[in-house]
A and B are shown apart, each in its own frame.
Chain A
Amino acid sequence: MNFLDVSGATKSFGAATVLDGVDLGVGQGEFVSLLGPSGCGKTTLLRIVAGLLGVDRGTVKLDGQDITALPPHKRDVGVVFQNYALFPHLTVAENVAFGLKARRRGSTETASAVKRFLELVHLSDFADRSVRALSGGQQQRVAVARALAVRPKLLLLDEPFSALDRKLREGMQIDLRRLLRELGTTSVFVTHDQDEALTMSDRIAVMNKGGIEQLDTPEAIYRKPATAFALEFVGLSSRLSGKVVGTQDGLVTVETSFGRLVAPGNFVSGAPVMLAVRPERITVDRPGDFAVTAKLRDAVFQGAKVQLHFETTGGDQLMAETADLPHGLPAPGSEMKLGWAVADTLIYPVP
């Protein structure tokens, strides 16, 4: 039984179908990210769950109750907006107290909740400041404290870190995750930053064109992307197109520009397919289940690792990542032997 259960959510604006029968289940206390490119319907889905937008078809259930027709102020769903939407006429503490006062909580209860949540987001010293005098990161923390102070059943966050610089963002990701875990708040988090989704989430919903392509743990999404889109959107990979030439015992042999390669799967002979391998699963100068020879086009030094790009034909792409290159950075143009395991090879049908 899911704590939040969205089923068959469909939404159109005029002729454009923005959400097309989306199903999303989130367990109690879980942190699920909606990850997808701009315009795929993440915000729309979030607004539907919050009650700020109605669905054309489908239902939203929260904690066993059908809330599809409930107005937002009766849903007990908190939202951290992308631009924070802090009340400019109120101080930091008054912003945090807003929801408690609206719910007619007692003044002692309100005061202690405000104090507690300002402490949790490290803003106690700013309680009486105007929110207009805060930095982006501080505003973001006020928005989180304001949404959490009423202890909503569910917290929705719409790209809360997108306006922050990278370093600040990384710190806040860890802080927010710890805070939500301590409070046990069920959360749905929108982002189009895959690293953010991978580091923070219990599960990730990869969205594309108004639908969820895959809903799974970060590890499963990375290791076994369900679709070519999920593969493309999360992480880097080598991609080689080819044609199935043989199939046997759950293994298919594919003819590619680098020779015959084998992948686990079931395809009919002659089917056009795409093979993919994550770059860190490719070994350099050490053959795996099979080995290919490729010409180096570019070596990109990235500190802890080196990214190697190889020359390919057509729309193919071949890249490897390695931490140890005993002979130093190889020169572009040098021939290298690459190997990988059959189990690490992903295969997708080509439409």
Chain B
Amino acid sequence: MKAAAAARSPWRDPVIWLAVPAIVYLLVLYALPLLWLLTKSFIGPGGFTLRPYIDFFADPFNWRVVWNTLGIALWVTLACLIVGYPAAFALARAGAALQIAMLIAIILPLSIGVVVKAFAWQIVLRRDGVVSQLLVAVGIWDEPQRLLFTEPGLVLGAANIFLPFMILPIYSVVKLIDPRLLEAGATLGAAPLYRFVKIMVPLTLPGVVSGVAFVFSMSVSMYVVPSLLIGDRFQTLSTLTGRSFLFMRNEQLGSTTAVILLAMAVGVVVGSTWLARRLGGST
């Protein structure tokens, strides 16, 4: 019994050593600078201190920044989920030719830099841009308006850029679901909505959770997109971090905001993984 448990321990499995190059790479290029950042924010002139954090949270402006960051990330994630979930189903159930076309449409934009895409969205969101024209044409707006440098404009642009990271994980889960499960549900007397809620939703949950974790952590920390689509008027933790290092030369503030941002992103990833395990009972 004991021997069996030991044999199953991950450390005894030689496959684990395959992770060594990745670990070394991440350690040197990621973990060490991060550690430096972390210590920077906790070390004042007199040694260890929580002063930067106390100062940061004492300032109502900084609270606004935190709420801005969280709010935008939530809206972007929600928009991606609403658009991406059905899209992932369509992708998974499409015929071979259509599926390839859809996959290209989803993956190809990833090869275009974020800066280029953000500039493109600047044009799209202008007063005379397509979105404004469309909303006027449909009759939702009475006259053209500028969406650029507004929060809805930012959500629209960011959701577009991060959408593939929502669709792909959900798609990979949906693809593996046996369509006969829904048929089995139907023959047991379950109506379409009941089947969806009780069979499809729980089975796709692991994909949804990873999609949400991807999009949330990317949109909570995005820098270029808000810089170009909303500007200095609207600060997020990452634009504030950038300003602190680049313009204000305040390394302490910069590392403090960076650590807060990191804590938020890690919290979401850990929390969602935990949630997926609990709800899905799988993976």
User: Which residues from chain A sit less than 8 Å from chain B, CB to CB?
Assistant: 50-52, 71-79, 81, 83, 85-89, 98-99, 101-103, 130, 146-147, 150
Alpha-carbon distance between A195 and B178 when the two chains are bound, in angstroms: 31
Alpha-carbon distance between A103 and B185 when the two chains are bound, in angstroms: 11
* B191 at interface by CB-CB < 8 Å: yes
* B232 at interface by CB-CB < 8 Å: no
- Residues of A close to B194: CB separation below 8 A: 102
* B260 at interface by CB-CB < 8 Å: no
Within 8 A of A (CB), among B162-212: 178, 180-181, 183-192, 194-195, 198-199, 202-203
| B282 (CB) vs chain A CBs: closest residue | A89
- Residues of A close to B187: CB separation below 8 A: 50-52, 72-73, 75, 77-79, 147
With A83-B178, A85-B178 in contact, is A98–B203 under 8 Å at CB?
no
Alpha-carbon distance between A81 and B282 when the two chains are bound, in angstroms: 23
- Residues of B close to A99: CB separation below 8 A: 188-190
| A132 (CB) vs chain B CBs: closest residue | B282
Among B180, B186, B195, B202, find the residue whose CB has the most chain A CB atoms closer than 10 A: B186
- Residues of B close to A79: CB separation below 8 A: 183-184, 187
Alpha-carbon distance between A77 and B188 when the two chains are bound, in angstroms: 8
- Residues of B close to A51: CB separation below 8 A: 186-187
With A98-B198, A102-B194, A130-B281 in contact, is A87–B181 under 8 Å at CB?
yes
Please name 13 further chain A to chain B contacts, defined as beta carbons within 8 Å, in addition to the given A50-B183, A85-B181, A150-B189, sorted by A numbering: A51-B187, A52-B186, A52-B187, A72-B183, A77-B187, A78-B188, A79-B183, A87-B184, A89-B202, A89-B203, A99-B189, A101-B198, A102-B189
With A79-B184, A83-B180, A89-B203 in contact, is A98–B281 under 8 Å at CB?
no
Among A77, A99, A102, find the residue whose CB has the most chain B CB atoms closer than 10 A: A102
With A72-B183, A83-B180, A88-B203 in contact, is A98–B282 under 8 Å at CB?
no
- Residues of A close to B198: CB separation below 8 A: 98, 101-102
A146 touches B186 (CB 8 A): no
With A87-B199, A89-B280, A130-B281 in contact, is A146–B188 under 8 Å at CB?
yes
A73 touches B184 (CB 8 A): no
A-B contact pairs, 30 of them (CB 8 A): A50-B183, A50-B187, A52-B183, A71-B186, A73-B188, A73-B190, A74-B189, A75-B187, A77-B187, A78-B187, A78-B188, A79-B184, A79-B187, A81-B180, A81-B183, A83-B178, A85-B180, A85-B181, A85-B183, A87-B184, A89-B202, A89-B282, A98-B188, A99-B188, A102-B188, A130-B281, A146-B184, A146-B188, A150-B188, A150-B189
- Residues of A close to B280: CB separation below 8 A: 89
B97 to chain A, nearest CB (A): 17
- Residues of A close to B192: CB separation below 8 A: 73
User: Which residues from chain B sit less than 8 Å from chain A, CB to CB?
Assistant: 178, 180-181, 183-192, 194-195, 198-199, 202-203, 280-282
A89 touches B281 (CB 8 A): yes
Alpha-carbon distance between A21 and B281 when the two chains are bound, in angstroms: 47
A14 to chain B, nearest CB (A): 14
Which of B186, B189, B281 contacts A103, CB < 8 Å?
Answer: B189
B207 to chain A, nearest CB (A): 13
Alpha-carbon distance between A52 and B281 when the two chains are bound, in angstroms: 29
Alpha-carbon distance between A74 and B191 when the two chains are bound, in angstroms: 8
A73 touches B191 (CB 8 A): yes
- Residues of B close to A87: CB separation below 8 A: 181, 184-185, 199
A88 touches B188 (CB 8 A): no
B189 touches A73 (CB 8 A): yes
| B201 (CB) vs chain A CBs: closest residue | A89
- Residues of A close to B186: CB separation below 8 A: 51-52, 71-73
B176 to chain A, nearest CB (A): 10
Which of A75, A77, A83, A102 contacts B185, CB < 8 Å?
Answer: A102
- Residues of A close to B203: CB separation below 8 A: 88-89
- Residues of B close to A150: CB separation below 8 A: 188-189
Alpha-carbon distance between A147 and B183 when the two chains are bound, in angstroms: 12
- Residues of A close to B180: CB separation below 8 A: 81, 83, 85
Among A50, A85, A103, A146, find the residue whose CB has the most chain B CB atoms closer than 10 A: A85
A98 touches B185 (CB 8 A): yes
- Residues of A close to B178: CB separation below 8 A: 83, 85
Alpha-carbon distance between A146 and B282 when the two chains are bound, in angstroms: 21
With A87-B199, A89-B202, A98-B198 in contact, is A147–B181 under 8 Å at CB?
no
With A88-B203, A88-B282, A89-B282 in contact, is A76–B189 under 8 Å at CB?
yes
B200 to chain A, nearest CB (A): 10
A134 to chain B, nearest CB (A): 15
B184 touches A85 (CB 8 A): yes
B6 to chain A, nearest CB (A): 23
Among B181, B189, B194, find the residue whose CB has the most chain A CB atoms closer than 10 A: B189
B95 to chain A, nearest CB (A): 14
A218 to chain B, nearest CB (A): 28
| A99 (CB) vs chain B CBs: closest residue | B188
B212 to chain A, nearest CB (A): 19
B174 to chain A, nearest CB (A): 14
Alpha-carbon distance between A88 and B180 when the two chains are bound, in angstroms: 12
Alpha-carbon distance between A99 and B190 when the two chains are bound, in angstroms: 7
Which of B184, B189, B195 contacts A81, CB < 8 Å?
Answer: B184
Alpha-carbon distance between A86 and B187 when the two chains are bound, in angstroms: 13
Alpha-carbon distance between A52 and B180 when the two chains are bound, in angstroms: 10
Alpha-carbon distance between A73 and B199 when the two chains are bound, in angstroms: 15
A147 touches B282 (CB 8 A): no
Alpha-carbon distance between A79 and B184 when the two chains are bound, in angstroms: 7
Alpha-carbon distance between A199 and B186 when the two chains are bound, in angstroms: 31
| A96 (CB) vs chain B CBs: closest residue | B188
| B205 (CB) vs chain A CBs: closest residue | A89
| A50 (CB) vs chain B CBs: closest residue | B187
